[in-house]
Structure 1
């Protein structure tokens, strides 16, 4: 009997890990070590009273000056006296 190509290329399923049914799951499911301060665990981000300075909007919009026109190099032809 010839084996199907798809079956011959199929990787076998890995063995199931040993689990103890009496063992309780961990208290939290994040990857933060237990000794890390609380703000790193807060999923909502910054406290509502004041955002950190890097997130505050600028006090005034940046000034916009029109760009100075400079012709590209090599396009200006100097006047030749006759």
Structure 2
């Protein structure tokens, strides 16, 4: 039996509540990054990502993985701890 490959959910097909969550999360990431005085290039390197992916995350235009959330939160916590 041949299985059809499942399509990844597209942003435009996402539930409105999920879109709102991603947008709000992205805004918080951008605010924290700027508070830490890091450029998008520096933050992307710190989480081992590319600039365009981080930009899409900050703009709420990409679905996040648990790993994305973990790495971003870890970087933000480390940065904010240094600024205390």
Alignment TM class, shorter chain as reference: under 0.3
Q: Which has the larger radius of gyration?
A: 1
Larger RCO (CA within 8 A; separation ≥ 6): 2
Compare the two structures and name the one with the higher helix fraction. 2
TM-score, length of structure 1 as denominator length? 0.21
TM-score, length of structure 2 as denominator length? 0.21
